Structure 1
């Protein structure tokens, strides 16, 4: 089994503590292919428009957004096969510092197709390669070697076959042992295991939180109650509940804050949740308050929704929307 390799990207030092206070972990990255066609129908060749490739996956997208907003994050991810090599080149082009854990399987690909005649979007999310025990254990070892003491470890995205359900819980334990704060964006059993271990911040969507609590959260009161309950029982110090066009809720021991999204023209929501999380963690790492981090997060998620297909937010849009949200809050 090959050892993890480090690409310092923009020339930064290879240790996470020197690159920046944020380490992201992505064990199931994906090459995101996006294109468009007039109409999606079965049994016919569908002639498509221009296509683009992006290096996707929860933690990697978080690191990409952090860099776009002027920060620095070390992105730890797996890579295998020709797709994995293409993935590495795309991240290198964006000058994102990385630690790569080689795997025998082929890095997966996801496909997003916009139907131009209706505005509908079709997203095909592939499962990913099965990781051998020594491969996911190498990921955990790499986390231990690069965890930024006093910083943040962001564990985000799906777990591929072969990886145990408590993988993110193990990362949370490692982060705590090294004095770092663990942030988790996951769903299902992986989310439940991480919450049972206890984390600094968790970012579920409404659907993910509903699945976790086993109840429909169809009112603001129920959403706030469910988020606050995770704080009260010690599962998470902060719960950032994303609600799409309805905004977001932030629960902590200081109370609950709700923030509406700014008015923007939504083009594609792919990557909006990752952008939300990237901006939130970046602002916290800069010493900003949770309320300020929430404004930046909502601004980044909204700015990403303004971009086509799998494109992420642009700094100018995020800062403009962040300012608008601050002005609105002051009225």
Structure 2
């Protein structure tokens, strides 16, 4: 079975609650909290496992939330390699406003990582045996981590023979796009606009922007995540738009990570690129159906994918 490793530099314990209404200065009575391990790469690995693949999550871990994160991953049965750090793993939280259906997401910055802690993350990847076929770098960079960390990971991925997949934002994404070296990159529409330096509006501009990224060598494959509208994928001269199934939206947390996990697993299993992105679109849609920080369920992904297989060929 193909082996997928993920690296999450800024993991979190995700807390989600519901309350009737979010009102300034009021004491808000909340539902019982739900805790889920979070952070881009950890979510990707969870989805790969949920869909029947083999995944391993690598992440820095420290403090009480780091311990809780490790226990949570043990309970999920996910293979993981925590890298001890001096700082405390962060907590992030989501509040669902039950009367309106609105969702409020609070994302904390996370601990700084020392140079030796970052190096231990790289060493942990390098020590994997067998080496992963795919290495996924997903999620935010913690405070103080230089964008040049991406360059080190590119060199490591080449040395171990892994295809590097990146899902980043802000300066790390801009740097990764300028340097090249990624096999697959998955920007959102806002992130694509940031890369291009202008608002990308409409399907024609989306397609032109993806062609430009491919021609500039930003990545071999670029998948544009379009939320409820699905995805647009480009590779060489290949360009395809894939619609998303219409589903009730409960929570947007983890939808992009679910999309990426399903895409990478499908590619690792040898699926054609368009089919792999269909798997990703189905997984993203299956995740938004779930409350709080819960991710997709395998049966939902399979059901939604069957509908896409019939309607999008």
TM > 0.5 fold call:
yes
Aligned to 2:303: 320
Name the SS for the 1:146 alignment partner. Answer: coil
- The alpha-carbon distance between structure 1 residues 257 and 216, as it changes in their structure 2 partners (threshold 3 A), is same
**1:105 paired to 2:87:** yes
Flag as ranges the 4+ runs of structure 1 deviating above 6 A.
none
Superposition deviation, residue 193 in structure 1: 2.0
| Other-structure match for 2:232 | 249
Structure 2 residue 38 is matched with structure 1 residue 26: no
Q: In the alignment, is residue 72 of structure 1 matched against residue 54 of structure 2?
A: yes
The structure 2 residue matched to 1:174, chosen from 156, 163, 167, is 156
The answer for the alignment partner of 2:19 in structure 1 is: 37
Partner of 2:249: 266
**Alpha-carbon distance between aligned partners in 1 of 2:132 and 2:290, rounded to the nearest angstrom:** 34
* 1:158 corresponds to: 140
Q: Show CA shifts across 1:100-124 (max 9, x none).
A: 1001111000010001111110000
CA 259–148 in structure 1, closer or farther in 2 if over 3 Å, else same: farther
Map of 1:52-91 to 2, 5 A cutoff? 52-91=34-73
Q: 1:172 and 1:218 mapped to 2: Cα distance? A: 31
> In 2, Cα distance between the equivalents of 1:110 and 1:150?
29
Mapped pair 1:50 → 2:32 = yes
TM-score scaled to structure 1, two decimals? Answer: 0.92
Gaps of 5+ in 2: none
For 1:228 and 1:173, how far apart are their aligned partners in 2? 25
Aligned residue pair count: 312
Indicate if the aligned counterparts of 2:2 and 2:269 stay in contact, CA closer than 8 A. no
What value does the CA root-mean-square deviation take over the aligned residues?
1.3
Shift of 1:255: 1.1
Conserved? CA contact 2:243–2:312, under 8 Å? no
* Residues 180-199 of structure 1 mapped to structure 2, 5 A cutoff: 180-195=162-177, 196-199=179-182
- TM norm structure 2: 0.97
Which stretch has the larger CA shift, 142-151 or 181-190?
142-151
Stretch deviating more after TM superposition (305-314 or 135-144): 135-144
SS at match of 2:54: coil
Q: Which residue of 2 aligns with 1:235?
A: 218
The match for 1:9 is none
2:228–2:246: 8 Å Cα contact kept in structure 1?
no
Deviation at 1:166, TM superposition (A): 2.0
Q: Is residue 114–residue 121 contact of structure 1 (8 Å, CA) maintained in 2? A: yes
1:10 is aligned to none
- Alpha-carbon contact 1:264-1:302 (below 8 Å) kept: yes
Which one is further off, 139-148 or 218-227? 139-148
Native 8 Å contact 1:272 1:302 kept in 2:
yes
SS at match of 2:294: coil
Distance 2:223 2:55 in 1: 20
Once the two structures are superposed, what CA deviation does each residue of 1:35-68 show, in whole Å capped at 9, x if it has no partner? 0111111112111012100000000000000000
Q: Does 1:296 align with 2:291?
A: no
Is residue 103–residue 131 contact of structure 1 (8 Å, CA) maintained in 2?
yes
Alignment of 1:190-229 (within 5 A): 190-195=172-177, 196-229=179-212
- Asked if 2 retains the 8 angstrom alpha-carbon contact of 1:169 and 1:197, the reply is no
2: CA distance, partners of 1:55 / 1:21? 21
1:309 to 264, 281, 292: 292
Once residues 269 and 224 of structure 1 are traced to their aligned partners in structure 2, the CA distance between those partners, rounded to angstroms, is: 25
Shift of the alpha carbon at 1:147? Answer: 7.5
Can you give the 5+ residue segments of structure 1 that lack an aligned partner in the other structure?
1-18
